[in-house]
Each structure stands twice: as structure tokens, then as C-alpha cells.
Structure 1
Amino acid sequence: MQPPSGTPGSRSLAVPAGRLDDAFTGREPLLRELDRVVGAPPGDCRNLVLCGLGGCGKTTVAIAAARTAARNGVEAWWVSAATRAELHDGMRQVAVRLGAGDAELTRAWSGMDSATDLLWRMLGRHPRPWLLVVDNADDPELLAAEGGAFADGTGWLRPVAAGAGTVLVTSRHRNPLAWGAWWRLRTVGPLTRPEATRVLMRVAGPGAGTAADAAALADRLGRMPLALRLAGAQLAAAVGAPWPDAVTTFDAYGQQLAAGGWQQLLEPEGAGMAEADRAPRRIVSRTWELSLDHLARQGMPEARELLRLLSFFAEAPVPYALLTPSVLGAPAGVLPGLDGTRLWRLLKALADLHLIDIPENGPRSGSAPPGNSAGSAAAGSGAEHAADAGNRGSDEAPDGDGAEVLRDAVRLHPLVRAASRLQSEAMTRRAAYLEAATDLLAAATQGESHVSPEDPARWPLWQAITPHAQHLLHETGAHAAGSARAVAQAVRVAVATGRALRARGLYGQAEDTFAAALETGRRVLGEGHDATLTAHHEVAAMHHARGRLAEAAAGFRDLVRHRSAALGRDHPQTLLGRHMLAYVRHDQGRLTEAEAEYRAVLRTRTRVLGETDPLTLATRYRVARVLDDLGRPAEAETEYAAVLALRTEVFGAAHPRTLIVRRELARLHHDRGRPDLAGPEFDEVIVVQRQVLGNTHRDTLLSRSCRARLWQTQGRTARAAAEFREVLRDLTTVMGEDHPYTATARRYLAEALDEPTGPPETGGGVPD
């Protein structure tokens, strides 16, 4: 679950005002209309779309309108719809800002309730005037409710029929039928000739030529704001250049542009594209080619290759964590010999010419600048504890090194990205660029332990990587576009991002990611490939996390069979599946079988991995748990104490896994008649879990349930019943009506109320 705004990992809803520079001019009639709409009385049309070609300045107009609204006391939120992940995360942050509670958010964003309904209930109750800007909504159906059409008005965006709100959307999609009658469409076209002339002269600076020369060049550039900015920036950068052929004037630039020399952009997947849509791409392509030629003359020929590579990532910010110079500059890399200093110079040069955007003051504290390893989570086989992470999801996250990752990133204008990616030479080398991109993904995710995707301190990094992992999984797997190695890397990283999504409580997105990884692996790599089996493991683990024990058992049996045949029964990867199969049997109540298999796995893991390895400790904890359930408390207490000491040493006292063992020891103290030891321990554990995981996290709820059991035995029945009611409500939200933990909480409440309970549940071991 994503932390709320203001905590590490949250996406900012702030209007990106830094992108509104002094070159902005014109659009006064449109801005006046937007101001009137935002301030109009309820009942008027409050849904507007700024539509137009890429590069026409839709986003800039929206920024200007939002800034004016904010100055007038309107609460403005900015959400990107460039990718599904950005849209869902952004809308969740809006719900947080509107005051949605933990339980409501968990239930809505896990798919148990409607997230879109929750958002619009909160918007309808908001007392202040508000403006919701949804940028880059080029696919309206991405905003639709599941199974419906966007124009139905039941999805993420709906008619603003009452209250004091306004929705403003930017989109390249201009078909009124797709939007529906409740939207007011306004086209953002080219600037007027005087406006375009002023932009060129302001950006290029003095000395580039007369107003007449600027006007002539502006006409040639189609008076598109993006093309004007690119051309003006290149002319400004060329002032004082010592080369005789340097392009320093409007007239010289126009001659170069007219001379062409670059192959026309052809979009293979868009052969039916209208000429009106092709023209802007051609203009931008020619414009940035002149800028790249300028950089080549300045001794930076690699800038062209770097820009093309960036264009093969998803249409989302590319975090510095993905730009590893040692990978880019490897002998077989796309930029041989590149180092961190050179990479930073290239990025700054591209930014100076407005081909990309980077943070103005360089990397912020805690981020990973180009040249340093981001050290993000491993995308390996997926640890068995991942089955438990399906319910991890705090609305609080501790400070960590990834806190600024979401903001420290390279951004490409969608039109620059499309023009770069679809250039004929780039398309010819598509497989090489995709392989380089997956190499960068793999390098950014190989440096940490296998538990990282479940670590709240690392969620900001995984959040930034997720859209790129999902995009590259699709791209490398589509039509054999990537090598087998690239596909394998894409599958592994996608699996790790799925684990992080699941840990944050985004179960639907996690399941979709695991399923896509498994499908791609089976289709391209084969059923027995290690990357495919990694995805297979997580699909089965997701079944387990959601209480679908029969499906989980079948999945892990198949996995163990494949791993055993390929690697042997005692290989670490086989042990991974064997541990999880024992875990499922434990939850099914097959305790004797579970104990035997846990012990067999523990012996081998201790020998191969060592006593303090997190995986060894996970199995040893499960041994303690099954001994507890088998009615052997003295043996269980000895094992719990040993695991607690080792986990405190390995993870620290406040780590979620350490807290689980402390909770279980406290519960055992209670069961063995030591309430004086159990009570204070429960209290301390719950305080830390609330700080680290949040009040409605599954682990916190189970600890609260254990403490309520203690209160019940102490005769504090009313207090216990009240706590059981809250725990049952939240477990139903987090886990679902039919999950074993929910059923156990329901039984505890019935016992506290002295009502019939039904047969006791078996298994349902406390997770690790």
C-alpha cells in the first residue's frame, strides 16, 4: 500500500509549476475561459478536456490554469494518466488528501470495493473548491470502470454535477463520442504568428535575428510550442560557437530545416495515421535532429544514442537508479566507454536543449545520481515470505534512501519520446535498445537482498521502476522483439515489482503482473525456464496470500516437481517451493506432514545457507509455529526464543519479522499462564507495528487480536469485544470474508459475546 502524501514513496499531487518558464505566452482567451469554469456556480459544466496534437502545449496551459486556481484559493491536485500505475497511485493519493481512512483505502485499492466510488464519494463531500487535473489521458478507456466505457461516467472521471469541483484533462484524443456529452472539449492548436514569434525570440535570445526571421521560422515549425522551444534552445546554446557551420540564427536554422537530410518518420504500427498527426512528429524529429547535430559538434555524439535509449522505456519518469554508467558504458553496451561524469554531462546537455527534463538542482539527498548504484531490491527467485506480503500495506513508511527516487528522474515529452523511438534507425535496432533497457533494469535490481520488495524503505524505488518493468515485459515478449536473455531479465524484474505491489496492498495489480510474467515466460522461454518458474512461484504465493489454499497447493506441487527434475530436491530453489508447500499444508491443518517437511527443509537450508540466513530463519520460525499448533508449547517457546535472538541480530528489533516472533512469544506467555509477561510485550509490539506498518496491516491486526484474547481472560470482556469488532471489521477489509484469519477473528468475537462459535478452525498459522 502506498504511503500517504508527505511520506516517502508517495507521488506528489503538486502542480508541476517548475515547467512553466518565462517563454510561456499566449492562450489568453482559453485561460480566461478556464478561470471562469473553475469559478462557475454548481450546475454548470465542470468537466473540460484540453485536446490537441502532441507538442501543442496542452500541459502548459493546464499548469497555468491550475496555478491561477491555486492563487484564488482552489485546492488543485495533479495526476498523471500516462500509465495505469501512475493513474491509480495518483488517484489513491487524492483519496488520502480527501481524508479516506486506512480501512477504506485498503478495501478499495485491493479490489474488494470500488476505488472509483470511494474517490467520488470523498470528492462529493469535500467542502473546499477543488480542481483535479489529469494529464496525458491519451487513452480515455484507461479511465473507464472495469467492463464499461469511459463515456458511461462510472470510472475514474465522472460528471461534476454538484459541489464546487472541476475536472480538467489533457489528451491527444479528440473524438467527442469517446468522451461523452458531459465533457466540454477545447482544442489547443498552434500559437498565433505573433505569439510564436515572441516565444522564439525570447528563448533564442538576442542576436538570433529579426522578428521577421523569427516569424518565418515559426511558420516552418508549425508554430508548435514544443518545436519552438527546441529550436530556440539550440540557437541559444550555439551562441559563440567557434565552428564556421554553427547554426546561430533564425535564418540559418530555417535553411537547415528546409534542407532536411533526415529520413521521414514512418510509424509501422500506425500506417493509417492521419497526415495532420504525422506532421508534428516530423517537425519535432527534424528539430531535435538539428539539436543533436549541435551536441555532436560540441563533442557529445553519444547524446543521440542516449535519447533513443530513453525513449524505449515506458512513458513515465525514468529514475536515475536505472541509468547505471557501468552498464551503459560496457564494451558491448550502447555507449561504450561511458562513465558517470560523462553521462551527467550528456543529460544536462539534453536538458539544456529541452529534449528532456531533469531536476533543476541535480539529484536530491537520498537519491542515486547517475554513476552510483541505486541498490534496489533483488529480482531473483522470490522468497517464500512473499506469500505473506499479500497483506502488507502500511500508510506509513520509514525514512529511507529511496525517499526522493520518485522526483529524481529523467522526463521526456511524449512527442519527443515517440519521435525518437519511431525513427527508422531506432526501429531497426529495436531489439538492441530493449536489451540495453532490460540490462539496466537488471543492474538496478540485483544489489539487495531477496526481502527488499517487502521492505517499506525500498517501496519508493520499486514504485518508480514498476511502469518500466511492466512496459519492458510487454515489449520484449511481443513478437519476439527481445532476446531470450532480455525476456528472462524482464520476467524476473516484473516478478519483483509484483511482489512490491502486493506488499503495498495493490493486489489486483500484483496478480496481473505475476500472470503477465508467467504467460510471457511460458510462451517465450518455456515452462521449465528458471525465470518462468520464478513467476510460477509468485502466482502460487498469491493464491496462498488470498486464502485460496487448494490452488496454492497445486501450484507449489507443480513447482517442486519442475525444480526437483531440473535442479534436484535439495537445491535452494526447490527448497523454496518445498517450504511453501509445507506452509500451505500447515494452513490446511495437515500439521504432522507440515512439521516433517519444515524440518527436512531446515536441515538442508542450515547446511547450505547457514544458521542466520533469512530463509533459514523463515523455516525455523515455521517449525516453532507448527510445534505450537501441535500442542508442544515448551518446544515451541525454545524455538521462538532462538529465532527472536537471530532475527534481532539480522534484521533489527523493529523489523516486521522480528515483531512477529515477539508477538508469538507473548501469545505463548499468555497461553502458559504468564499474563504479566504477555501484556507489556503485546503493547510494545503493537506500538511499533502501528508505526512501521499501520493500524490496519494484517500483522498489526493479528497482534491486536492476541491482546484482546488476553483482556478476555483477565475479565475485561467489554474491552475485548470492542477490540474484536474493530479487528474483524478490518480483517474483513484486508483479507476478505472467507479468509481463515477473518474466520478466526469472527470466532473470537462470538466467544467474547458468549455466542455459538461453530467448529474451530485448523491451521491458519500466523504468517512470517
Structure 2
Amino acid sequence: MTGGNDARADGQGRVYQASGDQHITEHHHHGPDWSGPDSVRRPAVGRAPVVLRDRTEEMRRLRAALEPGVGNRVYVLHGLGGCGKTAVAYTLFDHATHHAGRIGLWVNASDPASLRAGMLAVAADRGATDAELMGARSGLRPAADLVWQCLDHSDQPWLLVLDNADNPAILRDGGWLRTSPAGIVVVTSRQAAARWWPGAELLHVGVLPRDEAALVLRDLAPHAGTVDEAALVADRLGRLPLALTLAGGFLAHQVIDPWTLADYGHQLDGGDGRDPIELIDQGALDTSESRHLLSRTWQLSLDALAGQGLPEANSLLRLLACWANDPLPVTLLSGAEVGSDLPVFRIESALRGLLDQSLTELLPEGVSCLRTHGVLLDSVARTIPSDQREQLAATAARQLKATLPENPERVAHDPHINLLAPHVLALLRRVVDWSVAQSVVEEATECSLRLVIALHRDGDFSSALAAADRAVELAKQCLPEDHPLVLRLRQRAGRALYRLGRFEEAEVLHRQVLEACERSLGSAALDTLESCLGLSRALWQLGREPEAMQLIWRAIAGRNETLGPVHPLTLIAKAYVSEVAPGPELDEEVAMGQTLVADCYRTVGEQHSITLLAELDQADLLRRAGRNAEALPTARRALAAHEQRYGGLYPITLAARTLLSNILAELGRYAEAIEQMETVVNARTDVLGTSHPWTVWSEGRLDEYRRLLSQP
């Protein structure tokens, strides 16, 4: 054969050209050309919920959308990964197919290929011909148009679930998300930004209430423990449905030596050195699916953000993992640069990305705050590379130090301090666990000290004591017991014990700290002198004034030599003399008090807290010297000044009102004295409780003044 041949092959045919005689045998095996899901009529979920707990309002609104004749609606269930969005959709799907007379269609929308294959399967289910499907697959006709044409002409009303649509751009490209009068669409997504869902109704799916979270554990592992034990474990898991499901699954499937809920809770707290996140993940049925593992599910959102050009979101989330899951003031992120991974000018966009992916949330009321789930923070913290931890912790400490004043003023109440408290202690816990450089541990410990001082001067002595004790416990794991920061924290704990009326405990602690300061810092060190003053207060309340005065004079002499006679710390020490000095001969102390007030006016100003304290102590000195007529106007001025500055419930204000009441009584003006003391008793009962020594003492005085008033 010498001529050329023109030929064309169709379908699976081929064209062969040969020279000479050839014998060709070809076998064609025709199989189904299908790469889509096996079913769109059944939800593709890892583990169906035994019972859907809570979600009452969401299910009410969604079930109403399944009523006959309802269509043209899109609902978006959005929230943090693992919060149970798919469980809500699954329960609605079951209701639609078994009770509402609708067919259910379920499509995985996590990636373009799965979405396209699933939607074409929906078209096939709703009557698309083979030729139409082939044309859509080959790109000869718009695939989304075919799908929605079939849905529009469905002979049955339907519910379409687009599950795991965490990247809404996939739905937007090609127009996959539409409405139809024949049915309703429910989308589950971590993407919370409303701009992605025009015309849709957004339903936020969050963590469960405590009681309902406990029941999830009981549903899966009913014999593992009581409801109360389940509630404690649920709290530890942050009431996150994914974590609860994994924990319940783990407890339910143990065979050899089953744990109780109490055992599980102990292990979550680090018993036997277990990693809590690894323990939770052991409850997964399929460890290959990232969405079903607590340790990997968040990475899906971070990968999506990186794909959107926001890799800095990962660094910002790692910074957030240095702190706690309590509300975090947004201002703490101002200027929070973490090297080249998170430059300052990218913080805003990184935060917006985390918010959009539901990795954190902005709280709607009060101080502008973020809240990030605790299990998420722990999961992220454990994956931070060791060479990045130190820089992150140093940044977190620097941001806290910029917010916490080194020497906070006394205030009536500063809610900002209470918001920062859990984050300060969480950072200290992180740096201890991470074994970073001592300098970073010291920075975090100094933040704790500033926090404790601020809480004390805010009048929240119980919180100050708890924070000081926890900070000492953590810091001592990395710092020596005689480190100045550890000693200062213990000093503050002693002061808090004193304010709480636990004078014997305060004496023991202050004496221990004083001995440690003398041993490690020297007898003239400022920290040693501070311990002298702290111990003097406790001894004074225990009736040991001479011992207390010796310590006060020692502090005055030491501060006078080191700082000078009118340094604020020296003035404070001198004020102790006016408060503690025993009577009855007090002329010398009264003269000293007058000099102190004058020095305060000249050095720090008449409205300074030290000046107010000096004037209050001077009024008390005059009373104890028997000069009540002189003391009365000074006491009235002191009360008015303290009340204006701190409010009526602040401890020093109550002390000023008590002094005024005592002076009025000693002048025989019992009715006025009773009026003032009734206010003190009511306030101290509310603030300190009925058993506090100062409350009991005030009640005794009030009874005495009433008795004196009633006498003829």
C-alpha cells in the first residue's frame, strides 16, 4: 500500500496505520465511567450523633423551613470546627426524609472535585440524562446550570445539604449555590463572614451548655460515671462536641481495663504524663480523616487562610495560644509583632482571617474582646516548633507588661485587670511547660507580680491571693525560691492574707519571707525592708504593737538611708507609725504626723494616695491622743476625699468612715456615730462577709453605740 489514508475514530475507537500485512486484535472492556460519590441520599458523616443535644432554637427554625410549600431559602450553619454543625445538618436531614416528606441530598463541599462530583450526582438523582451528564462532565455545557435545572424541576420537594463548605469561593465559582422554589439548602461552614453568604440566613453553632455537654458523654458511655463526673470532664473539654464525642467514644470502646469518667479527667489533667490532645484523639473511629481528629481539624482552616494569602493567621493563632481561652482584650494585640512571620501591619488582616474561619470570635458586649476555644489553644500550643516558642512567649509577655502598670494606683474597680488575670497565669504556665530561657520566665513572672499588685489595689484580695499562690507555684518550677520575683509574690500573698483577716497566717508567711530576704538579699535590701512592714501589720492586728513598731522603725531607717527622707516609699513607712503607734502619750507622734502630711503635700501633692493615707492616720492619731475636736474636721475631709476617689465600698473608704464614727461617738454624738457605723457594717458584710474580724469588730462597736444612745 502506497497511498495515504484519512480516518477518524469515535468514542473508544482508534486509528492504526501500517505498512504490509498486519493482524490486529483489540479487546474493549467497557465499564462505568463514574468517579462521583456512592450516594447522595445518605449523609456522609464519620459518626452520627446518638442524640442531638441542645440546638433547640436552631432546629426549630430549620424544621419550620421544611414545611410544605417552603423553598427559595439558604441556611448557613457556621462555627468553629468540631462544634457540631454537621450533626445539626444530619439531624435535620433525618427529619426531612422520615417526617417532612422531602428527599434528602447530601454533598461534600470541602473541595472543588468533591463538590462538582456530588452536585452532578444530585443532577443524576433528579433526572438528568446520560447525555446531559456527559456534556456537563466534558465541559460542553455549564454543570451548575444543569444541576439547578434538575433541582428546579424535581417532582418532589427536597433538602440539599452542602457539608464542610469551609471555602465559600468554591461555591461561588461556577454558581453552585443558588435557591429554588422546590427546596431549601443548608450549608455547613467554618466561614462566618456574612459577605460570603448574601441572602442566606446565618445560624451560629457554638459549644454546648454544661448540662447538655455532660449528657453527650453519658449518651456514648452511660456506665462510665455520674452526671456530675461527666459535667467535670465536659468542662475540661471546653464543651466542644467533637471533643465530647471522641472522649465518649474512647470510654465506650475500652475492653481490657475500662476507665471511669474520673479516670479520664485525671488523665486529661496530665496524669501519668499523657498528652491530653493525643488522649482525646484516641476516640476517633478513623484516624486518617483530619476533620475527625482534634489535633488536625484546625489545620484545615489555617490551610484555607494560607491559600487566601494569609499565612500570618497561623502565627497570630500561635500567639493567642500563649494566653488563656477567657475573653482577651483586643488591645492586647496592638503592636504585637512576632518577627517576620507576623509583622505589625499584617495583624489586622490575620485577625480578620481567624474571625472569618471561626477560629476565634469577637464578643459583642462590654470591652472589645476575643474568645478562642481552650482545646483549640492547647492543640495549637503543642504543635508550635520549639525554636519559635521563646519568641512567641516573649512577645506575649511584652504585650501584657505594656498593659499592666508597674505601680498601679488604688482604684475602686478596674474590669480590665480581671480580664487580664487568666491570661497572665496562662502565659506563666506556658513558659514553664516550654522550658524557655530564664529571662522569658522572669518576664512572665513579673507580669504575674504586676497583676497581683493590681488586684490587691483594686480591693479584690481573694483573687490577689489566689493569683499570687498560683504564680509562686509555677515560677518555682524554673526560678529559685529566693529569686526576688518569687519573694515579692510571696510578700503580696501575705498582704492579701492580712486583708482577708487571716492575721496568724499572714504573720507566718511574712516572717518566712523576711528570713529568706535577709538570707539571700541582705538586711538592708529594699525587699527586706518591705517584708518588715508587711510583718508589722500582722503583728499589730495580733496585739503585738511593740514588735510591730521595731520593724516599722527599721524600715524607715533603711529607706531613709537608701532612698532619702521624702521618697514616696519612705513616706509610706512613716505613715505606718501614725497607724500603729501605741498610746496614750502620743504628742511626739502627732507632731511627726503633722510633719509627714506637710512633706506629702510638698512632695507628691495633696490628692496623692499617700497624702490621703497620711491625713487619715493623722486624724486617728489625734483621736487616740484624746484630741477629738481637732480630729473631727480632719476625719471628715479624709472620708470625703477617699469616697470621691475610691467609692463607698473600698476598704480604705470604710476605714475612714469607721474612724469618723469612732470620733463622733467619743464626742457623745451617738446618733451620728450609729449612722456611720451602720453603713460600715452593711458594706463590710457585703464585701468581707459576716465572719471577717473587721466585720465582727464593726458590729460590736455598732451595738455599743446603740446601747450608749439608749441610756438615760
Using the size of structure 1 for normalisation, the TM-score is: 0.54
SS at match of 1:315: coil
Question: Which residue number corresponds to residue 210 of structure 1?
Answer: 175
2:308 aligned partner: 294
Question: Is contact 2:578-2:593 (8 Å) kept?
Answer: yes
CA distance in 2, matches of 1:413, 1:225: 17
CA contact (8 A) 1:230 1:288 kept: no
The one-letter code of the counterpart of 2:339 is L
**Residue deviations 1:285-341, cap 9 Å, x none?**
223312123225xxxx5443223222332113333453364xx54xxxx42496644
Q: Residue by residue, what CA displacement relative to the aligned partner does 1:342-376 show, whole Å, maximum 9, x if unpaired?
A: 5445445655666555699xxxxxxxxxxxxxxxx
| Residues 625-636 of structure 1: pairs in structure 2 closer than 5 A | 625-627=579-581, 629-636=582-589
Separation in 1, partners of 2:609, 2:61: 51
Map 1:328-367 onto structure 2 (within 5 A).
329=337, 334-336=338-340, 340-344=344-348, 346-348=350-352, 351=355, 356=360
Q: Which runs of 5+ in 2 are unaligned?
A: 1-54, 65-77, 90-157, 181-185, 198-274
Partner of 2:401: 445
Query: Given the alignment, which residue of 409, 418, 433 partners 1:463?
Result: 418
Does residue 597 in structure 1 map to residue 551 in structure 2? yes
| Stretch deviating more after TM superposition (737-746 or 579-588) | 737-746
Measure how far apart 1:601 and its partner are.
1.6
Q: SS where residue 538 of structure 2 aligns?
A: helix
Cα displacement (A) at 1:456 = 4.5
Q: Describe the shift of the 1:213–1:707 C-alpha distance in structure 2 as closer, same or farther (beyond 3 A).
A: closer
Aligned partner of 1:692 in structure 2 is 645
In structure 2, the partner of 1:166 is: none
- Equivalent position of 2:82 in the other structure: 54
Tell me if the contact between 1:682 and 1:707 (Cα under 8 Å) persists in the aligned partners.
Answer: yes
Structure 2: how far apart are the matches of 1:450 and 1:343? 26
Kindly state the Cα deviation for residue 691 of structure 1 after the two structures are TM-superposed.
3.5
- Counterpart in the other structure of 1:175: none
Of the candidates 600, 614, 617, which is equivalent to residue 661 of structure 1?
Answer: 614
Identity of aligned residues (%): 21
CA pair 407-51 structure 1, distance change in 2 beyond 3 A: closer
Q: 1:365 is matched with which residue?
A: none
User: Secondary structure of the residue that 1:580 maps to in structure 2?
Assistant: helix
The answer on 1:311 being equivalent to 2:321 is: yes
Determine the C-alpha separation between the residues in 2 that align with 1:576 and 1:198.
Answer: 60
Give the 3 Å change call, closer, same or farther, for CA 338–526 of structure 1 in structure 2. same
Q: Which amino acid aligns with 2:498?
A: H
Match of 1:490 among 444, 452, 464: 444
Q: Quick one: distance in 2 between partners of 1:287 and 1:751?
A: 69
How far residue 739 of structure 1 moved from its aligned partner, in angstroms, is 4.9
Deviations 1:217-249 (A, max 9, x none): xxxxx953315759959xxxxxxxxxxxxxxxx
Contact 1:324–1:444 (CA<8 Å) still a contact in 2?
no
Any unmatched runs of 5+ in structure 1? 1-24, 35-49, 62-191, 216-221, 234-264, 361-403, 757-768
For 2:514, which of 557, 560, 564 is the aligned residue? 560
Tell me, yes or no, if the aligned pair for 1:498 and 1:513 is still in contact at 8 Å.
yes
Query: Which whole-Å deviations, capped at 9, do the CAs of 1:550-583 have from their partners, x for residues lacking one?
Result: 3222222221222222221111111111221233
Q: Is the 8 A contact 1:728 1:746 kept in 2?
A: yes
Partners in 2 of 1:453 and 1:700 — Cα distance?
A: 15
- Is the alpha carbon distance of 1:33 and 1:674 closer, same or farther for their aligned partners in structure 2, counting shifts above 3 Å? farther
Structure 1 CA distance for aligned equivalents of residues 346 and 166 of structure 2:
30
Question: Is the Cα–Cα contact under 8 Å of residues 462 and 500 in structure 2 kept in the other structure?
Answer: no
* CA deviations over 1:436-457 (Å, ceiling 9, x no partner): 2354325532687653174447
Q: 1:530 aligns with which of 465, 484, 493?
A: 484
Alignment: residue pair count: 487
- 1:680-719 equivalence runs, <5 A: 680-719=633-672
Q: For residue 531 of structure 2, what is the aligned residue in structure 1?
A: 577
CA contact (8 A) 2:677 2:702 kept: yes
Pick aligned residue for 2:190 from 223, 226, 229: 226
Query: CA contact under 8 A between 1:285 and 1:419: conserved in structure 2?
Result: no
Deviation digits for residues 258-279 of structure 1 (CA, Å, limit 9, x no counterpart):
xxxxxxx994353423348952
Separation in 2, partners of 1:700, 1:434: 44
- Give deviations 1:386-407, integer Å, cap 9, x for gaps: xxxxxxxxxxxxxxxxxx9x72
Q: From the superposition, tell whether residues 275 and 618 of structure 1 become closer, same or farther in structure 2 (CA, over 3 Å).
A: farther
* Aligned-partner SS, 1:211: coil
Give the corresponding residue for 2:60: 30
Q: How far does residue 33 in structure 1 lie from its aligned partner after superposition?
A: 9.3
Distance (Å, rounded) in 2 between the aligned partners of 1:693 and 1:728? 18
Q: Verify the 8 A CA contact 1:320 1:410 in the aligned structure 2.
A: yes
The structure number with the bigger radius of gyration is: 2
- Which residue type is aligned with residue 465 of structure 1? L
User: Displacement of 1:621 after TM fit?
Assistant: 0.5
In the TM superposition, what are the counterparts of 1:74-223 in structure 2 within 5 Å? 194=160, 196=162, 204=169, 208-211=173-176, 223=187
Contact (CA 8 Å) 1:308, 1:420: kept in 2 or not? yes
- Flag the 1:274–1:470 CA change in 2: closer, same or farther, 3 A: same
What do the CA deviations read for 1:593-612 (whole angstroms, capped 9, x no partner)? 33233222212212323344
Q: 1:356 to 1:335 in 2, by over 3 A?
A: farther
* Mapped contact 1:579–1:619 kept (Cα < 8 A): yes
Instruction: Name the residue aligned to 2:431.
Output: 476
- Matched residue, 1:274: 284
| 2:392 alignment partner, one of 428, 436, 444 | 436
Contact 2:661 / 2:676 at 8 angstroms: preserved in 1?
yes
**Separation in 2, partners of 1:305, 1:209:** 33
TM-score, length-normalised on structure 2? 0.58
Structure 2 equivalent of residue 76 of structure 1: none
Higher normalized contact order (CA 8 Å, seq sep 6+, divided by chain length): 1
Counterpart of 1:374 in structure 2 is none
Q: Which residue of 1 aligns with 2:332?
A: 322
Could you tell me whether the CA contact under 8 Å between 1:26 and 1:195 is conserved in 2?
no
In structure 2, the CA distance between the partners of 1:286 and 1:734, relative to structure 1 (3 Å rule), is closer
Q: Give the superposition deviation at 1:635.
A: 2.5
Q: Deviations over 1:653-684 (max 9, x none)?
A: 44554333323333444555665554344333
> What is the aligned-residue RMSD (CA, Å)?
4.6
Is the contact between residue 55 and residue 415 of structure 1 (CA under 8 Å) also seen in structure 2?
A: no
